[in-house]
Amino acid sequence: MRACRLWSLAWPLSGMEVMTFAKELIITAFVGHLGPVELSSLVLSQTLYNVSGNAPMLGVVTAMETFCGQAYGAKKYATVGIVTQRALVITTIFNLLCIAMWGKAESLMLAMGQDPHIAKAAGRFTMLLSPCLVLDGFEQCLRRYLASQSVVQPLMYVTFIATLLTPLYLWYFIFRCAWGFDGAAVAWACVQASSCLGLLLFTLYHTYGQEPSKRTWTGWSRECLSEWPLYIRVAIPSAVMICLDWWTFEIIVMLSGLLPRPEMTMSMMGITFNIHALCFFAAHGLSGAVSTRVGNELGASRPRQAWLNTQVSVLMGTVIMIICAGMLLMFRDQLGALFAGDREVVLLTSQAVPTLAISLIGEGANTVLAGVLRGCGRQKIGAQINLFMYWGLGLPFACLLAFRLGLGAMGLWTGLACTASLQSLILSWIVFKFDWNAEAQRAKALIAAGELEIELEEEVELMASSGRLGTESLLDASPIKPTTLTL
């Protein structure tokens, strides 16, 4: 039963992520027909867009999963809307700062040694994508607002419609209007605007269809301009956690270009990373689902249910990735041929699949456990582990295998696989050792702090001493330990 509830939340989120990825593949395919310079410029622009804009922005937004999920579970419905408003304002300001930095994109790329023609085209394309970042930030906030209330299927439908519109927009602006490479950026912005508008219309329909006593949006409030330090204290570790993970893969791709015959190794790494991304999204939806469920249960002072949801989700995520890994191993010799015609690239891809499969199993557990941490508001733990595992251990180990021991691209993948596997064990040990009674207390303190403007530590002590923690709903025969709320 619990697995069914989790899956009912997870599969629409996974479908949404896959279709979002499909939109980027469609855009890449259209631009690829314009020429190698345009394609190279697009890849470079996408890297800059993701590394300096999209990844940290998602970190800022995912702090909503903690606050909205716990507030909705505690039946603090108005708080869900206020947190959403706060996130919209903070995310928009952050995105505008990123766009201001993009004004120096061409100079930055030239300083990194990129080809002047490619750097110029990529810099212009990145600036044309500026509206996409603002629109995407707005849409991501609405997604979390709805997901915290377990409303997820419309997210998939809206993304599906936007994906269907993508080829039409690209054809019109690239070929019909004859805008070429610039037309791809305009089309991308139109796709994002369509998706954002569709989600906004549904959000309005959903919100005003709620019972007045359970309405989560009661209009704009000045309260959204308060409690920014608390939100930012959760958002910063979220951004660090996402960026350290995302940037690691970007660096690995760049490192593959330093190996002998880079045109072959980079092609193989590009293919395997696309395969990795598609499989990863199957578990990523489960990450969002468990973040919602754990947050709701902790907010409702049901730590036992949060713990059970954690166990079921980790098991489901691991099983899903084992199935994906098995499928990849079965068709390892055919995978490369789906993306490339060169025999050497196909062979290299086939050789990398076993290591890729091993890394997926660890990544499946990692992404689900990251969702648990977000639901608990423990993003700081994830950020610290990602920093140590990926940057302190994973990247140096991958470089050692690839360059010093001569394993080449296989060494890069082996380093990632070992890192993901070890990290999954560490995260599992930490999360499974949580005192879930204390996590429920902590959730109460987070909600109270967002409403009452008092010191978090004082709130925890006050609630613990006055017995307002709903201990009757906590784990049976488990002592409640006073805790200090640290973010």
Among 46-60, 188-202, 257-271, the range with the most confident prediction by mean pLDDT is 188-202
Task: Tokens for 463, please give them.
Answer: 């609630």
Give the model's confidence band at 332: pLDDT under 50 very low, under 70 low, under 90 confident, else very high.
Answer: confident
* pLDDT at res. 216: 93
pLDDT at 263: 64
Q: How confident is the model at residue 91 (pLDDT cuts 50, 70, 90)?
A: very high
Residue 461: pLDDT band by 50, 70, 90 thresholds? very low
* Dist. CA 120–CA 184, nearest whole Å: 16
326: burial class by Cβ within 10 Å (0-12, 13-18, 19+)?
exposed
Q: Which pTM does this prediction carry?
A: 0.83
Residue 23, pLDDT > 50, answer: yes
- Higher-scoring residue by pLDDT: 273, 311: 311
Could you read off the pLDDT of 61-75 as tens digits, one per residue? 999 999 999 999 999
Q: At what angle do helices 303-330 and 436-452 cross, to 10 degrees?
A: 110
Q: Average pLDDT in the 353-365 region? A: 87
What tens digit of pLDDT does each residue of 157-187 get? Answer: 999 999 999 999 999 999 999 999 999 999 9
**Is the model's pLDDT at 463 over the cut of 70?**
no
pLDDT at 480: 33
Q: For residues 405 and 135, what is the distance between their CA atoms, to the nearest angstrom?
A: 46
Average pLDDT, the chain: 84
| pLDDT(487) > 70 | no
Q: C-alpha angle 302/305/309, rounded to 5°?
A: 140
The residue that leads in pLDDT, 336 or 368, is 368
